[in-house]
Chains A and B, each alone.
Chain A
Amino acid sequence: MHAEEKFTPQTWPESPEKATLEGKNKFLGFWLFLGGETVLFASLFATYIALKDKVPSPDHMLAKDLFELPLVFVMTMLLLTSSLTSVYAMYHMKNYNFKKMQLWMLITVILGLGFLGCELYEFHHYYTEYNHTFTSSAFGSAFYTLTGFHGAHVVFGLVWMTLLMIRNAGRGLSLYNAPKFYLASLYWHFIDVVWVFIFTVVYLMGMVG
Chain B
Amino acid sequence: MSTIAQKRGFASTIWDYLTTVDHKKIAILYLIAGGIFFLMGGIEAMMIRAQLAVPNNDFVSAGLYNELLTMHGTTMIFLAAMPLLLGFMNAVMPLQIGARDVAFPFVNALGFWLFFFGGLFLNLSWFLGGAPDAGWTSYASLSLASEGHGIDFYALGLQISGFGTLMGGINFLVTIINMRAPGMTYMRMPLFTWTTFVASALILFAFPPLTASIFMLSFDRMFGANFFNVAAGGNTIIWEHFFWIFGHPEVYILILPAFGIFSEIFSTFSRKRLFGYSSMVFATVLIGFLGFMVWAHHMFTVGLGPVANAIFAVATMAIAVPTGIKIFNWLLTIWGGSIKFTVPMLYAVAFIPSFVAGGVTGIMQAVAPADYQYHDTYFIVAHFHYVIVGGVVFALLAGVHFYWPKMFGTMLSEKIGKFTFVFFFIGFHLTFFIQHFLGLMGMPRRVWTFLPGQGLDAGNLISSIGAAFMAIGVILLLLNVVITSVKNERVGNDPWEDGRTLEWAIPSPPPFYNFKQLPLVRGLDAYWLEKMEGKTTLTPAEPIGDIHMPNGSFTPFVISLGLFIAAFGAMYHVDDKAWAIPVLIGGLAITFGAMAYRSIKDDHGFHIHKEDLMDDDNEDKGVKA
Residues 81-122 of A, flagged 1 when their CB comes within 8 A of B and 0 if not, give 000000000000000000000000000000000000000000
Q: Which listed residue (A3, A4, A39, A176) contacts B209, Cβ 8 A?
A: A39
Residue contact B170 to A54, C-beta cutoff 8 Å: no
A77 at the interface (CB under 8 A from B): no
Nearest-neighbour CB distance to chain A for B254, whole angstroms, equals: 19
A15 at the interface (CB under 8 A from B): no
Q: How far apart sit A135 and B107, CA to CA, in the bound complex (Å)?
A: 36
Residues 122-142 of A, flagged 1 when their CB comes within 8 A of B and 0 if not, give 000000000000111111111
Residue contact A141 to B178, C-beta cutoff 8 Å: no
Q: How far apart sit A28 and B596, CA to CA, in the bound complex (Å)?
A: 21
B6 at the interface (CB under 8 A from A): no
Q: How far apart sit A122 and B610, CA to CA, in the bound complex (Å)?
A: 61
B238 at the interface (CB under 8 A from A): yes
B454 at the interface (CB under 8 A from A): no
Residue contact B166 to A36, C-beta cutoff 8 Å: yes
Q: Is the interface of A mostly helix, strand, loop or mixed?
A: helix
Identify the interface centre among B103, B209, B226: most chain A CB within 10 Å of its CB: B226
Q: How far apart sit A55 and B229, CA to CA, in the bound complex (Å)?
A: 11
Residue contact B104 to A163, C-beta cutoff 8 Å: no
Q: How many A-B residue pairs have CB under 8 A?
A: 114
Residue contact B208 to A134, C-beta cutoff 8 Å: no
Nearest-neighbour CB distance to chain B for A154, whole angstroms, equals: 15
User: In residues 205-235 of chain B, which contact A (Cβ within 8 Å)?
Assistant: 205, 207-209, 211-213, 215-216, 219-220, 223-227, 229, 231-235
Q: How far apart sit A139 and B179, CA to CA, in the bound complex (Å)?
A: 46
Nearest-neighbour CB distance to chain B for A64, whole angstroms, equals: 16
Q: Which listed residue (B204, B212, B232) contacts A47, Cβ 8 A?
A: B212
Residue contact A47 to B216, C-beta cutoff 8 Å: yes
A24 and B224 contact, Cβ closer than 8 Å, known pairs A43-B213, A138-B229, A138-B232: no
Nearest-neighbour CB distance to chain B for A111, whole angstroms, equals: 22
Q: How far apart sit A134 and B599, CA to CA, in the bound complex (Å)?
A: 33
A180 at the interface (CB under 8 A from B): yes
- Chain A residues lying within 8 Å of B231, measured Cβ to Cβ, are 56
- Chain B residues lying within 8 Å of A201, measured Cβ to Cβ, are none
User: In residues 142-192 of chain A, which contact B (Cβ within 8 Å)?
Assistant: 142, 145, 159-160, 163-164, 167, 176, 180
Residues 57-94 of A, flagged 1 when their CB comes within 8 A of B and 0 if not, give 00000000000000000000000000000000000000
Q: CB-nearest residue of chain A relative to B174? A: A29
Residue contact A50 to B238, C-beta cutoff 8 Å: yes
- Chain B residues lying within 8 Å of A47, measured Cβ to Cβ, are 212, 216, 227, 238
Residue contact B207 to A36, C-beta cutoff 8 Å: yes
A51 at the interface (CB under 8 A from B): yes
A32 at the interface (CB under 8 A from B): yes
Residue contact B204 to A35, C-beta cutoff 8 Å: yes
Nearest-neighbour CB distance to chain B for A155, whole angstroms, equals: 10
Identify the interface centre among B171, B223, B599: most chain A CB within 10 Å of its CB: B599
- Chain B residues lying within 8 Å of A21, measured Cβ to Cβ, are 178
Q: Which listed residue (B179, B208, B604) contacts A4, Cβ 8 A?
A: B604
A43 and B226 contact, Cβ closer than 8 Å, known pairs A35-B204, A163-B596: no
A40 at the interface (CB under 8 A from B): yes
Nearest-neighbour CB distance to chain B for A22, whole angstroms, equals: 9
A40 and B208 contact, Cβ closer than 8 Å, known pairs A47-B216, A134-B223, A138-B227: yes
Nearest-neighbour CB distance to chain B for A45, whole angstroms, equals: 10
Q: CB-nearest residue of chain B relative to A167? A: B600
Q: CB-nearest residue of chain B relative to A149? A: B215
Contact residues on B (Cβ < 8 Å of other chain), bracket: 35 or more
A37 at the interface (CB under 8 A from B): yes
A44 at the interface (CB under 8 A from B): yes
Nearest-neighbour CB distance to chain A for B246, whole angstroms, equals: 9
Q: How far apart sit A51 and B220, CA to CA, in the bound complex (Å)?
A: 14
Q: How far apart sit A50 and B213, CA to CA, in the bound complex (Å)?
A: 14
Q: Which listed residue (B166, B178, B604) contacts A24, Cβ 8 A?
A: B178
Residue contact A145 to B235, C-beta cutoff 8 Å: no
Q: How far apart sit A30 and B215, CA to CA, in the bound complex (Å)?
A: 23
User: In residues 246-278 of chain B, which contact A (Cβ within 8 Å)?
Assistant: none
A25 at the interface (CB under 8 A from B): yes
A32 and B226 contact, Cβ closer than 8 Å, known pairs A43-B208, A50-B238: no
Residue contact B211 to A29, C-beta cutoff 8 Å: no
User: In residues 60-99 of chain B, which contact A (Cβ within 8 Å)?
Assistant: none
A33 at the interface (CB under 8 A from B): yes
Q: Which listed residue (A4, A35, A134, A160) contacts B224, Cβ 8 A?
A: A134
- Chain B residues lying within 8 Å of A137, measured Cβ to Cβ, are 226, 232-233
Nearest-neighbour CB distance to chain B for A130, whole angstroms, equals: 16
Residue contact B224 to A135, C-beta cutoff 8 Å: yes
Nearest-neighbour CB distance to chain B for A110, whole angstroms, equals: 21
Q: How far apart sit A32 and B602, CA to CA, in the bound complex (Å)?
A: 24
Q: How far apart sit A36 and B177, CA to CA, in the bound complex (Å)?
A: 17
A167 and B174 contact, Cβ closer than 8 Å, known pairs A25-B104, A138-B235, A145-B225: no
- Chain A residues lying within 8 Å of B515, measured Cβ to Cβ, are none
Q: Which listed residue (A28, A32, A43, A50) contacts B212, Cβ 8 A?
A: A43
B296 at the interface (CB under 8 A from A): no
Residue contact A56 to B599, C-beta cutoff 8 Å: no
Q: How far apart sit A8 and B51, CA to CA, in the bound complex (Å)?
A: 74
B242 at the interface (CB under 8 A from A): yes
Residue contact A51 to B234, C-beta cutoff 8 Å: yes
Q: CB-nearest residue of chain B relative to A134? A: B225
Residue contact A176 to B604, C-beta cutoff 8 Å: yes
Q: CB-nearest residue of chain B relative to A29? A: B174
- Chain A residues lying within 8 Å of B171, measured Cβ to Cβ, are 29
Nearest-neighbour CB distance to chain B for A169, whole angstroms, equals: 12
Residue contact A40 to B232, C-beta cutoff 8 Å: no
B114 at the interface (CB under 8 A from A): no
- Chain A residues lying within 8 Å of B211, measured Cβ to Cβ, are 40
- Chain B residues lying within 8 Å of A163, measured Cβ to Cβ, are 596, 599-600
B173 at the interface (CB under 8 A from A): yes
Residue contact B226 to A164, C-beta cutoff 8 Å: no
Q: How far apart sit A136 and B223, CA to CA, in the bound complex (Å)?
A: 12
Q: Which listed residue (B104, B208, B215) contacts A36, Cβ 8 A?
A: B208
Residue contact B170 to A51, C-beta cutoff 8 Å: no
Q: How far apart sit A167 and B599, CA to CA, in the bound complex (Å)?
A: 9
Q: How far apart sit A167 and B166, CA to CA, in the bound complex (Å)?
A: 29
Q: How far apart sit A39 and B166, CA to CA, in the bound complex (Å)?
A: 12
Identify the interface centre among A28, A50, A134, A138: most chain B CB within 10 Å of its CB: A138
Q: Which listed residue (B173, B216, B229, B604) contacts A32, Cβ 8 A?
A: B173
Q: How far apart sit A208 and B370, CA to CA, in the bound complex (Å)?
A: 44
Residue contact A138 to B234, C-beta cutoff 8 Å: yes
Nearest-neighbour CB distance to chain B for A147, whole angstroms, equals: 14
- Chain A residues lying within 8 Å of B215, measured Cβ to Cβ, are 145
Nearest-neighbour CB distance to chain B for A174, whole angstroms, equals: 10
- Chain A residues lying within 8 Å of B216, measured Cβ to Cβ, are 47, 141, 145
Q: List 22 A-B contacts (CB under 8 A).
A: A3-B604, A25-B179, A28-B173, A29-B103, A36-B166, A39-B208, A40-B208, A40-B212, A42-B208, A43-B213, A47-B216, A51-B235, A54-B234, A134-B224, A137-B232, A137-B233, A139-B233, A141-B219, A141-B234, A142-B227, A145-B219, A167-B599
**Other contacts beyond A24-B178, A28-B177: 4, CB < 8 A:** A50-B238, A137-B226, A141-B226, A160-B599
Interface of A toward B, CB cutoff 8 Å:
3-4, 21, 24-25, 28-29, 32-33, 35-37, 39-40, 42-44, 47, 50-51, 54-56, 134-142, 145, 159-160, 163-164, 167, 176, 180
Give the 6 A-B residue pairs with the shortest CB-CB distance, closest first. A54-B233, A43-B212, A138-B233, A141-B225, A135-B224, A40-B208
